[in-house]
Amino acid sequence: MVDALLSGNPELRQQAYDWAEKNAKTDKVTTIRATGSRSTCGRAAEPVLRGSASNTPRGPPGWGKIRRTPAPHSSKGTTMQQRTLGRQGLTVSAIGYGAMGLHLAYGPSDEQEGVATIRRAYELGVTFFDTAELYGWGENEKVVGRAVRDFRDDVVIATKFGFTRDYGLDSRPEHIREVLDNSLRFLGVDYIDVFYQHRVDPAAPIEDVAGAVKELIDAGKVKYFGLSEAGSETLRRAHAVQPVSVLQTEYSLFERDAEELFPTLEELGIGFVAYSPLGRGFLTGTVKPAAEYDETDMRRTDARWQPGNYEKNLDAVRRLGHLAATKGATVSQLALAWLLAKEEYIVPIPGTRSVERVEENVAAADLTLTDADLFTIGTILPGGGYGERYGAGSLPNWI
């Protein structure tokens, strides 16, 4: 059935929509907001649904496994429910904030607007802020540090090491220590909550990398160790030296490859942070053709914006928009809610330079999806979007 949907078979597509419409009338509703982890690695409990489990629709082959647990009531506006990442005590808001776009890849920005956006995110309950040395070579970290200065002890700051100024890789222990000292200074803090290796460096044994971060943790300069775009073997080897609390990798309705790593994460008790959870902005509903973006915007060359792929992705977003509208939500909120529904150890970190947009993103933590909603989303994008996430030679090699 999934193959037929991908090929655009109108008869089967109509059957899918008829199924979704019929089952949307049931009272089987699942709240996707995060609760505290109910196991040491943050894995979800069994689904709790209103209505008979025996009557729960199964959906088509390839629909995929989605775990959901209902969240207890919490006040809105200043609090957000938390998720546990890993087994070392890292707890963050269900939705975080990615700061990369303030200085890299998405065209010109206004730093003051960025500061205001980060502060507004905190007011709305976001406690997880992600930056990196690479994002402006200290400039991004300075902005994040300035924005969170008045509430630093209330939030989790994640930054990354591993690149050189000419965009090569360098994860030698001495370079890791150098980057940490710079990041502490740029952020204006005396410790880093999460210190990620930004990309796996083939020239630096992962055991040496993990050992260097372990020394920093033992010294009180770092609290948790993370990896980004790493494969299962690398995760296991690093974890044997210093427990890995979290893996960060691109993951969204458009990009599903990371799902092959989930069994390893569950086995080792490692949390997952989804970057580009809105498909680099395609899932915001405000997308435009590649040529209309600024010369410094990566979307001008992103394969998902190129002719052929662009039209197919645009049609998928249009259809997602119809579903979102029935729930009084936006496409962005629907996409983030889908991520939160997948596993309780997943935390998306959408980035934005707009106060209005961060308010929209945070509201996704309160969005309720039914099984029928999840099925309909699966029929629209059963295997992800169209187009590779990175160009030839740039796609991370998971080992």
Q: Where are the domains of the chain?
A: 2-380
Q: What integer pLDDT is reported at residue 178 of this predicted model?
A: 98
List, in sequence order, every residue forming a beta bridge with 156; answer none if it has no partner. Answer: 128
Contact 176, 225 (CB under 8 A): no
Q: Which residues are catalytic?
A: 135
Q: Which residues of the chain have pLDDT under 50?
A: 1-77, 105-106
Q: What integer pLDDT is reported at residue 379 of this predicted model?
A: 96
CA nearest to 35, candidates 68, 78, 76: 68
Backbone angles phi, psi at 216, to 5 degrees: -70, -35
Q: What integer pLDDT is reported at residue 104 of this predicted model?
A: 55
CA nearest to 119, candidates 324, 358, 372, 334: 358
Those residues with Cβ within 8 angstroms of residue 204's Cβ, 6 or more apart along the chain or in another chain: 169, 170, 171, 172
pLDDT tens, residue by residue, 93-126: 999 999 988 875 445 567 888 899 999 999 999 9
Amino acid at 218: D
Which CATH architecture describes the domain 2-380? Alpha-Beta Barrel (3.20)
Label residues 298-322 b or e (16+ Cβ within 10 Å = b): bbbebbbbbeebbeebbebbebbee
- Residue recorded with tokens 């402006």: 136
Contact 285, 305 (CB under 8 A): no
Question: Which token pair is 295?
Answer: 């010369």
pLDDT tens, residue by residue, 275-312: 999 988 889 877 777 666 677 676 776 777 778 888 89
Question: Which token pair is 115?
Answer: 């500061």
Contact 66, 259 (CB under 8 A): no
pTM: 0.78
